[in-house]
Amino acid sequence: MENLPSLLEFIEAACRQAQLEEEIAFSVKLAVEEACTNVIRHAYPDGNAGPLHLGFRSDAAEVVVTLADEGIPFHPEQAPAPDLDSGWEERPIGGLGWHLIRQMMDEVHHEQGTPSGNRLTLVKRRPAMTRSS
């Protein structure tokens, strides 16, 4: 977890440099935080350290973030559906990370890394530019 601040700073700086719309930057930062904490907790459990490569590219149409680790493979499609409806007494604490990633991003692709680990690609489309000329 001690590297999380630098990962979040990297993504914030990249969003600023790309001059992303505020709402798009919010979504990207949130999805990246959820994905990074997921890798830190599940790909490298028990406080074990391991590499996490974070990539960012953007153009006028979209933002693409990639996360590559060499840890234990995970299967996002097997993440249990979140409980969004029960009352406060029954509502479980936690379990919203993947839900938020899927809600905030337009595309989420997960594949097994080569030779090991996970490769996650997050795509967020930017609003169509309005041109005045």
Q: 64 or 100: whose CB is closer to other proteins?
A: 100
DSSP assignment of 86-106: S-TTTPPS---HHHHHHHH-S
The least distance separating other proteins from the CB of residue 119, rounded to whole angstroms, comes to 22
**CA distances in angstroms from 3 to 33, 37, 58, 85, 123, listed in the order given:** 12, 10, 24, 34, 23
The least distance separating other proteins from the CB of residue 44, rounded to whole angstroms, comes to 15
Contact set with other proteins (CB under 8 A) = 1, 4-5, 8, 22-23, 26, 29-30, 33-34, 37, 82-85, 87-89, 91, 93-94, 96-97, 99-100, 103-104
